[in-house]
Structure 1
Amino acid sequence: MNSSSTSFSTRDLVSALFVVLIWGTNFVAMKVGLRDLTPFQMGAGRYVFAVLPLILFVRPPKLPVKWVVLYGLFQGVGQFGLLFLSLRIGMSASLASVILQTQVFFTAFFGFALLHERASRALQAGLLLAAAGLVCFGMNYVQPGHAGATTAGGFALCLAAAAMWAASNIVVRRAQQATPQFDVVSFMVWCSLVPIVPFVGLSLAFDDPATRWHWTAAPFSTWIAVAYLGWMATILGYAMWTRLLKRHPVNRVAPFSLGVPVVGISTGMIVLGDVITSWQWAGITLIVASLVCTMFGGRWLDRR
């Protein structure tokens, strides 16, 4: 089967659903890990698990080192550092799984500004819906007592994490353009080595000295959560997703990502007891509608 294939095999369908399950539940794993670890300790732990033991067997990617370093900083320290801080100071797992999807629109903006890519009419409509959704989320902090379990700071940091994810997407595009034979698994493993030292440095600089070595006494559930983030969400999830993109057109694979917020919201409410306000439900509806519009609106406009 090649990239021109139009039908999913049973194996591919199971792979796609498994990735959605992994990425949707990894927000709950973050919350569990952050009960005993600081955000910077969590970041270091995630990437230690991501590189070990694979880095002993996977050769370095054949591309300029700058792309490895930039991706590791944007995706590792930027996206997940800010996301862990967001979850720590006031963001629920359920809402984080939705707000982080705005990376689609940050990517479009960065692509326009840096790569001179044009925005389609479907994307423009999706941007308007997403903006309306963010306004709804913001209304929680305008009306006292309506914010639920989130804070304005947590919301802002989660948006910043989405922007860092988008920046890492631009780095990947540039790296792929510069490398004819782009090996994603090698790239992901060696990029995961980059954030470890910055996270350790940030922990030494900003964490309370009393908590710096607290991770040695963390319960087994914390280490299961960190291992899940490193091995499952970082390496296995991205490897399976990339394999699907190599075997099928992007427009057949990308819609599965709509399932990530559904799983994230469901597991957050069931496992963690997350409470979602009416304004947040309105924001969720508009964000999901904006993603649907972006993914499928072009086909509808073409038929028109």
Structure 2
Amino acid sequence: MPLFDWFLALVTIFAWGINFLASKIALTEAPPLLFGALRFILVAIPAIFFVRFPKAPLKTIIAYSLTINFLQFACMLSAIAFGLASGLTSLLMQWQAFFTVLIAALYFKEKIPIGLLVAFVIALIGMVLIVQGGNMDTALPMSGLFAAIGAAFFWACGNITIKKMPHVDMVSLVIWGGAMSIPAFALASYLIEGPELIQQSLSQMGVKGWGGIAYAAYVSTLIGYVIWCKLLSRRPIALIAPLTLLVPIIGFISGYLAFGEKMTWVQWIGSAIVLLALGINIFWLKIVKFLHLQAFRNK
């Protein structure tokens, strides 16, 4: 792959990893559902006036918007708002890799790969260490934990809707899908967070709030997804996809540098095990091929 494409891929990975930090900063001034509404307002306007509506079934686009935009980000932002460290949130979100394969196997009646089952069991071991290995300073808020896992699940559901639109223009899907999620975020924010908190947040938001929301909208969503989709369209998925394993590493480093987010050594081991499981899930076929080759050579 050309050096410039590697540069673009790393720019995207850094943008996504730092997005969790930017979101945590913005959430100090805006509640999560209002954050989501404002994020996708910035994503959609004024872009929808210059980008055509995606050429795909309306119900599939709505399903994409509700899962990968509304439900995923509502859960992700809530996880951070509930007190889950931004680094751990970025790691737990990677469970979407497991959920995507499981849901695809059930939905499309495909056989579940043995590599996924092995990786899933290993990841569960890592998850137990993360949850049980904390002390009074690093104990996980269970509401945040479940919200992050929920975000990963809805991300996976959104991936399935994308698979049903193989020829859709991703730029138009991101922009119009974002626009269609605004009413859901606005209604949920009004009903759950309340008009008083909304009004208070909008009147008092400063650089932290608007800066974090703008970063999530323009850098993470528009720039990040556009670059990523371009790379996926012209480079092998097997070469590009494993780079997402760097996202939680960037999330951990940025969270530690900005907020001093700490974990016990047991939680670090658990996180490393989860990353190992994600790697096994991605590279399983290559691992099996390598082991078969070694066994053949040793005969």
Give the alignment's TM-score, normalised by structure 1.
Answer: 0.92
Task: Name the residue aligned to 1:33.
Answer: 26
2:2 aligns with one of 1, 9, 14: 9
After superposition, residues 12-161 of structure 1 pair within 5 angstroms as 12-140=5-133, 145-146=135-136, 148=138, 150-161=140-151
In 2, the alpha carbon distance for the partners of 1:302 and 1:85 equals: 41
Alpha-carbon contact 2:131-2:140 (below 8 Å) kept: no
Is 1:147–1:277's contact at 8 Å kept on the other side of the alignment?
Answer: no
Shift of 1:124: 2.3
Say whether the 8 Å CA contact 2:44–2:176 is kept in structure 1.
yes
Determine if contact 2:105/2:111 at 8 Å carries over to the other structure.
yes
User: Counterparts of 1:55 and 1:242 in 2: how far apart (Å)?
Assistant: 19
How far off its partner does 1:147 sit?
6.3
Q: Is the contact made by 2:131 and 2:139 (CA closer than 8 Å) also made in structure 1?
A: no
Give the match's secondary structure for 1:212. helix
Unaligned 5+ segments in structure 1 are 1-7
The residue type paired with residue 155 of structure 2 is W
Give the letter aligned to residue 14 of structure 1: F
Deviation for aligned residue 1:67: 1.3
Pick one of 209, 214, 217 that aligns with 1:227: 214
Q: How big is each residue's C-alpha offset from its partner over 1:53-96, in whole Å with a ceiling of 9 and x where there is no partner?
A: 22111110111111111111001111000111111112110100
Q: CA deviation at 1:43?
A: 0.6
Structure 1 residue 117 displacement after superposition: 2.3
- Any idea what SS the aligned residue of 1:91 has? coil
CA contact (8 A) 1:54 1:189 kept: yes
Maintained 8 Å contact 2:29/2:208: no
Moved >4 Å (runs of 4+): none
Question: What 5-or-longer segments of structure 2 have no aligned partner?
Answer: 293-299
Aligned residue type for 2:202: W
Indicate conservation of the 8 Å contact 2:87/2:255, yes or no: yes
The yes-or-no answer on 1:280 pairing with 2:267 is: yes
Deviation readout 1:2-49 (Å, 9 max, x if unpaired): xxxxxx112111110000000000000110110010111101011011
Using the TM superposition, give the Cα deviation of residue 146 of structure 1 relative to its aligned residue in structure 2, in angstroms.
4.4
Residues 90, 155 of structure 1: 8 Å contact kept: no
Code of the residue aligned with 1:172 in structure 2: it is I
What is the distance in 2 between the residues matched to 1:129 and 1:237?
Answer: 30
Task: Indicate the residue corresponding to 2:185 in structure 1.
Answer: 199
Matching residue's letter, 2:149? L
Measure the CA separation in 1 of the matches of 2:66 and 2:31. 19
**Root-mean-square deviation over aligned CA pairs:** 1.4
Q: What do the CA deviations read for 1:84-134 (whole angstroms, capped 9, x no partner)?
A: 111111211010010100110011111111112223232222111111112
Selected match of 1:170 from 153, 160, 165: 160
Q: How many angstroms apart in 1 are the aligned matches of 2:54 and 2:255?
A: 36
